[in-house]
Amino acid sequence: MAQYVAIIEDAAPDAVSLWFPDLPGCISGGDDVDEALENAPEAIAFYAQELIAEGRELPPPRTLDELRAAPEFADDLRNHTAVLVEWPPLPAAD
């Protein structure tokens, strides 16, 4: 099971967004952090569907340390909260 790093940003007083450095253009959002995280696997699923339709696959996730070493993400990781999102998601407990 893979874990993609997501960066959480406050988009507005009543909205939160997160994005994935390894999945350019893949974003999730919600009224709060919990909702944005709950929606994150669905965002990855839609992103994966688009890649598959183009004959491509999801790129492998990088570790948090690898992303911290990447100059294009260093500031975002310093200034925002980073979380790990499981992919594929674990099945819901009954």
Sequential pLDDT tens for the chain (94 residues): 899 999 998 767 789 999 999 999 999 999 999 999 999 999 999 999 999 999 999 999 999 999 999 999 999 999 999 999 999 877 766 5
How much is the pLDDT for 1?
81
Domain membership of residue 9 (yes or no) is yes
Question: Model pTM greater than 0.95?
Answer: no
**Rounded Cα gap, residues 75 and 77, in angstroms:** 5
**Rounded Cα gap, residues 28 and 33, in angstroms:** 10
Number of domains in the chain: 1
How much is the pLDDT for 92?
65
Q: Look up the domain containing 18 and give its range.
A: 2-87
Domain membership of residue 93 (yes or no) is no
CATH number of the domain within which 78 lies: 3.30.160.250
Describe the strand order of the beta sheet including 15-19 as a list of residue ranges: 27-30, 15-19, 2-12, 81-87
Domain membership of residue 14 (yes or no) is yes
For the record, the structure tokens of 59 come out as 């790129």
Domain membership of residue 94 (yes or no) is no
